[in-house]
Structures are given as structure tokens and as C-alpha cells.
């Protein structure tokens, strides 16, 4: 298992971690890689990485779905971040073939920050498959 350490600079951000994950599995056998975020106010997703406006659109849509000013009861004041992280999910799994991520042409792996700026960790685990 590997750990990626991230620092986010904004309250909400989508950070492309595809390159880091690719470097970790380079040269690996066939299998799957699991990318897991051990935080309750952050998540991970796979989405388009060709057009940066998609990240903006994701942020806009999530803000409209879960605005920060809803009458939440959680005392820390970051309930919207918890809900958005729950919607996003805490892990993704990607097939690996001959040491290469098998993402679609336009896909990338994004760490999703909803309560930044913060220092965060992403755990990456490779599981080899046997033929």
C-alpha cells in the first residue's frame, strides 16, 4: 500500500491524482488498484480530465444540491462537506493491465476536497490477479 499526501488550498477542490496513481502501478502485474480516501469530508471520483470546466461544473452542481446554509445540526459547521463526501464516495477501483491504468480516453482520478484547505492522505492499494 502507498500513501499520497496532498495539501488543498480551497474549501472545495478537485485535484487530479491520475499521474501519481499511474506512477505507483507502473510495471505492476495485471490486477486492480483501489484508491481510498480516509476522510469524512473528502472523497474520490473518476471523471473527465480533458476539459477543466467539468471540475467547475461538478463543484457548482454539488453546491446547488447541498448548500452550506441548510439547517444542519452537526456542530462543526461542515455538514455540507460530509454530505458531499458521502455522495462522491470514499474509493474507486481501476483495472490495471501490464502496469497501465485502464481508464477511458477522457477519464482521470480526482481527489475531491469539500472542507479545505487541509492536509490530506490518499491510500492506494494494488491487488494482483492470477490467471
- Indicate the helix (H) or strand (E) that contains 120: strand 119-128
pTM of the model: 0.94
- Phi, psi values for residue 31, rounded to 5°: 170, -145
What pLDDT digit, counting tens, does each position of 31-69 carry? 999 999 999 999 999 999 999 899 999 999 999 999 989
The boundaries of the domain holding residue 96 are 2-128
Give the domain CATH number at 9.
Answer: 2.60.120.460
Q: How many domains does the chain have?
A: 1
From first to last of its 131 residues, the chain has per-residue pLDDT tens of 999 999 999 999 999 999 999 999 998 989 999 999 999 999 999 999 999 899 999 999 999 999 989 899 998 889 999 999 999 999 999 999 999 999 999 999 999 999 999 999 999 999 998 76
Q: Is 6 left (phi over 0), alpha (psi -120 to 50) or beta?
A: beta
Amino acid at each position: 500500500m502507498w500513501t499520497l499526501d496532498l495539501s488543498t488550498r480551497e474549501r472545495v477542490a478537485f485535484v487530479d491524482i491520475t499521474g501519481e496513481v499511474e506512477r505507483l502501478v507502473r510495471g505492476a502485474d495485471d490486477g486492480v488498484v483501489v484508491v481510498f480516501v480516509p476522510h469524512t469530508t473528502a472523497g474520490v471520483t473518476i471523471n473527465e480530465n480533458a476539459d477543466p470546466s467539468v471540475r467547475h461544473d461538478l463543484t457548482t452542481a454539488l453546491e446547488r444540491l447541498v448548500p452550506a446554509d441548510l439547517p444542519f445540526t452537526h456542530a462543526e459547521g461542515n455538514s455540507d462537506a460530509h454530505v458531499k463526501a458521502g455522495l462522491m464516495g470514499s474509493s474507486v477501483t481501476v483495472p490495471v493491465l501490464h502496469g497501465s491504468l485502464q481508464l477511458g480516453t477522457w477519464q482521470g482520478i480526482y481527489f475531491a476536497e469539500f472542507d479545505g484547505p487541509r492536509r490530506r492522505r490518499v491510500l492506494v492499494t494494488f491487488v494482483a490477479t492470477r490467471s
